Amino acid sequence: MGNMTRDAVVHLRAREILRESGRTLWYLRAILAGLLVLFALLTVAMYYMGDPVETVKRTASPWGETVYFCAITALTIGYGDVVPTSTFGRIDAILLGLLGMVFTGLIVAAAVRGVQEAARRASLQD
């Protein structure tokens, strides 16, 4: 605290942070679109070859619940109410989890870059 010769206080605006985060996501749009296509392919593969089963009824999952299972798995939540019963389905679930981690990481990285870039621009304006 005794070394406070000149502390710059930077006031960040949410609009600037969102603008910079959006700009970064725009640059990543091809990667994000590829990840969404891969998610769709893994979801279709799960429905046809993963043998997802509802744990309560012990019946095959319909299409809507398979999409729900894949989304919950990609978000790394994993409630356990729908489970894959084949080896392929389990490998598919692992790939969905990894895909979700990459997707989430890119979104977080874009948000962090938005804050950094907004802070840099705000400090240049002062």
Whether 8 is in a domain gets the answer no
In Å, what is the CA distance from 43 to each residue of 6, 35, 50?
55, 12, 9
Query: Domain residues for 102?
Result: 35-111
Whichever domain contains 98, its CATH number is 1.10.287.70
Query: Is residue 29, in this structure, part of any structural domain at all?
Result: no
Domain-located, residue 42: yes
Q: Is residue 117 part of a domain?
A: no
Q: Could you state, in chain order, the average pLDDT of each consecutive group of 10 residues for the chain (126 residues)?
A: 54 88 95 97 96 90 94 93 94 97 96 92 79
Q: Would you say residue 106 lies in a domain? A: yes
pLDDT of residue 1: 46
- Cβ-based neighbours of 22, under 8 Å, separated by 6 or more: 114
How many separate domains does the chain show?
A: 1
Decide if 94 is inside a domain. Answer: yes
Query: Which residue type, as a one-letter code, is found at position 13?
Result: R
Task: Say if 88 falls within a structural domain.
Answer: yes
Q: Quick one: 5 exposed, middle or buried, by C-beta within 10 A (0-12, 13-18, 19+)? A: exposed
